[in-house]
A and B are shown apart, each in its own frame.
Chain A
């Protein structure tokens, strides 16, 4: 599954035929010659929604071949393309990290934990391992509304990415009986834990930008 995803990604900038062999080879080459660190940077950069990501990555790899120690390419921030890849990968990683924090699950009638998010970049693949490790015994689904992609995890199984299937709104909104109890307890806690003498909406907004709040239990009006 992971291999497949990388193939799609690399095909976004390589105008070669979609071919698993080529993609896997390219992946191996990057890992071998540029090292895992650079591979991760390139991988994350390609999940970004920047239109020029392909060019920057391509030029970075060219630059890597030019310098004496290719594995140090990501330290070479003086080069504008490397800096661009660095910036994109950092912004994707940051967004992914924020979603590890801000994702909220609700329990559906069949016991599945369901979450929907509205990310700028394709973060699902970055956060999959984190949640799979955290909730190995749960069936859970994260739906990326921006890219219309699902991250599925079946109890005690590997995670998988699914595209091309529409979301069934009715199922997604049918919550379990106890769900309301816990979301209300959480809202109660969220209110009472704040110290009114220290109220600071500016700080709150800096750390928790408004765009994340639409998908978060404690900021939703439904009870």
Chain B
């Protein structure tokens, strides 16, 4: 059942529908390419990316994120736009996309355009429309800001290629972590079909690099690289499987980013899981991003962080702390002499601060106060480092003790995860409490047992005197 197609609709209504339908795509960055304006148009790009606002869900708004159309001939079970949903359908025209992008950009609302789309008529037809919009934006409006565009699986490779010369980043979403899940939830898509355009873009990027080496002014193909996205929690994969998929995508397709999108149920469907309290698995998404960060910038491998026996991330501690607690034999390390790669592995020391340490220690011996100034989070790092052979406080290098201390240093977590009590944590269904990746977990168990006890009391109406009176 296709929804009503509205021909006469104001731009405002269209924008409402087509941004609302695009918001589940997690990719928001405008990063990966540095480009100065050439003085003849509008816009430039900054490699670090620029956020322009933050929406009420705390996510960054960098690009005008819209669908070209929310019509779709496919029926992916997790998607609002699936053909079996009865929703109002509409499409932009290429002109409208350009006007919105240009006028928003002029006012410094956005960094550029993120253009995705449902499949209107056929993949080719849709890709052509997208190409037309981008062509107009680049060649007629002379827009030099950032463009992120979707390559539509199944579209003619030449169309994808032509579009890629107009865009900064391209992405094809793998959608779900395994081919099996994809078959279940997206019957019209296949892993093979999705990986084909990804490979195409990768090859073209490599070829383009050669061209640029030969002719400095050769047109650039997808200079900010490609990314992809997986939905987390709609299918039963473990964190280990998901992280493995991500790692191999990074390795095999030279992806710039893999985005993880906590499953938000927008459709009722027996093939989809029912989430507790309708809450997307945000903590899980958060842990995956942390681990992804460790893969990309801290030289970790997926197998170091998780394994078959401990296939899920710990709810209470971030992956880096878990790793360190599992490798206490390596610590403490001496900040004034340790290898950069080892510094990177210390909880509380980031890429920047590790770099600063290596530079600053050439000028003289570093003390704990110096580390603080360099951005080291001492309340985490202190268990793992020495300065001039001394630890900051006398500390027992012992798992249980350090873990308890680390748990007391409050980690910034996404809403829902933040104010969460141990009781709620113990009810988390996607988490295994076997241990902090193998760490003995007595402390946590005690906490949980206490909470369960309190919970039982509450259920039996023993909470307070007043509660009993009320029920009486």
Q: Which residues of A contact B103 (CB under 8 A)?
A: 178, 182, 185
Known A-B contacts A104-B109, A136-B39; A195 and B24 likewise in contact (beta carbons under 8 Å): yes
In the complex, are the beta carbons of B57 and A185 less than 8 A apart?
no
Q: Which residues of A contact B107 (CB under 8 A)?
A: 104-107, 113, 182-183, 186, 217
Taking the complex as formed, is A201 at the interface, i.e. its CB lies under 8 A from any CB of chain B?
yes
In the complex, are the beta carbons of A199 and B56 less than 8 A apart?
yes
CB distance from A218 to the nearest CB of B (A): 6
The interface-forming segment of B9-17, B124-132, B308-316, B394-402 is: B9-17
When the two chains form the complex, which single residue of B41, B51, B104 contacts A137, counting CB atoms closer than 8 Å? B41
Taking the complex as formed, is A75 at the interface, i.e. its CB lies under 8 A from any CB of chain B?
yes
Interface residues of B in 13-60 (CB under 8 A from A): 15-16, 19-20, 22-24, 36-37, 39-44, 50-60
Taking the complex as formed, is B351 at the interface, i.e. its CB lies under 8 A from any CB of chain A?
no
When the two chains form the complex, which single residue of B22, B39, B55 contacts A190, counting CB atoms closer than 8 Å? B55
Known A-B contacts A78-B370, A133-B44; A192 and B108 likewise in contact (beta carbons under 8 Å): no
Jot down 19 A-B pairs with beta carbons below 8 A, ordered by A.
Answer: A76-B360, A76-B363, A77-B373, A77-B374, A78-B367, A101-B53, A107-B106, A182-B104, A185-B104, A186-B109, A192-B15, A193-B22, A194-B59, A198-B282, A199-B415, A200-B58, A201-B58, A204-B56, A207-B54
Known A-B contacts A105-B106, A182-B107, A185-B11; A207 and B23 likewise in contact (beta carbons under 8 Å): no
Interface residues of A in 70-97 (CB under 8 A from B): 72, 75-78, 83, 86-87
CA–CA, A138 and B360, complex, Å: 44
Taking the complex as formed, is B100 at the interface, i.e. its CB lies under 8 A from any CB of chain A?
yes
Known A-B contacts A133-B36, A198-B282; A192 and B356 likewise in contact (beta carbons under 8 Å): no
Taking the complex as formed, is B465 at the interface, i.e. its CB lies under 8 A from any CB of chain A?
no
CB distance from A195 to the nearest CB of B (A): 5
Taking the complex as formed, is B279 at the interface, i.e. its CB lies under 8 A from any CB of chain A?
yes
In the complex, are the beta carbons of B39 and A156 less than 8 A apart?
yes
Q: Size class of B's contact patch?
A: 35 or more
Nearest B residue to A103 by beta-carbon distance? B108
Q: Which residues of A contact B167 (CB under 8 A)?
A: none
CA–CA, A189 and B101, complex, Å: 12
In the complex, are the beta carbons of B363 and A72 less than 8 A apart?
yes
Q: Chain A: interface secondary structure?
A: helix
Contacts A75-B359, A186-B109, A204-B58 given; 7 further ones with Cβ under 8 A?
Answer: A101-B51, A102-B53, A105-B107, A133-B36, A136-B41, A198-B264, A198-B415
Nearest A residue to B142 by beta-carbon distance? A137
CA–CA, A107 and B103, complex, Å: 10
Taking the complex as formed, is A162 at the interface, i.e. its CB lies under 8 A from any CB of chain B?
no
Taking the complex as formed, is B65 at the interface, i.e. its CB lies under 8 A from any CB of chain A?
yes
CB distance from A137 to the nearest CB of B (A): 7
Q: Which residues of A contact B373 (CB under 8 A)?
A: 77, 83, 86-87
Interface residues of A in 188-218 (CB under 8 A from B): 188-204, 206-208, 216-218
Q: Which residues of A contact B145 (CB under 8 A)?
A: 134
By a beta-carbon cutoff of 8 Å, the part of chain B in contact with chain A is: 11-12, 15-16, 19-20, 22-24, 36-37, 39-44, 50-61, 64-65, 100, 103-104, 106-109, 145, 262, 264, 278-280, 282, 356, 359-360, 362-364, 366-367, 370, 373-374, 412, 414-415, 418
Q: Which residues of A contact B370 (CB under 8 A)?
A: 77-78
Nearest A residue to B13 by beta-carbon distance? A188
CB distance from B9 to the nearest CB of A (A): 13
Q: Which residues of A contact B360 (CB under 8 A)?
A: 75-78
Q: Which residues of B contact A188 (CB under 8 A)?
A: 12, 15-16, 19
Q: Which residues of B contact A83 (CB under 8 A)?
A: 373
Known A-B contacts A77-B373, A182-B104; A202 and B56 likewise in contact (beta carbons under 8 Å): no
The interface on chain A, measured as residues whose beta carbon lies within 8 A of the other chain's beta carbons, has a size of 57
Taking the complex as formed, is A122 at the interface, i.e. its CB lies under 8 A from any CB of chain B?
no
In the complex, are the beta carbons of B44 and A134 less than 8 A apart?
yes
In the complex, are the beta carbons of A216 and B57 less than 8 A apart?
no
CB distance from B138 to the nearest CB of A (A): 16
CA–CA, A202 and B55, complex, Å: 11
In the complex, are the beta carbons of A195 and B53 less than 8 A apart?
no
Q: Which residues of A contact B65 (CB under 8 A)?
A: 193
Q: Which residues of A contact B104 (CB under 8 A)?
A: 182, 185-186, 189
In the complex, are the beta carbons of A78 and B100 less than 8 A apart?
no
CA–CA, A131 and B105, complex, Å: 12
CA–CA, A203 and B36, complex, Å: 31
* Closest 10 pairs (CB-CB, A-B): A203-B58, A194-B55, A200-B58, A200-B415, A198-B57, A194-B56, A208-B54, A192-B20, A75-B359, A204-B58
CA–CA, A194 and B54, complex, Å: 9
Q: Which residues of B contact A217 (CB under 8 A)?
A: 107, 109
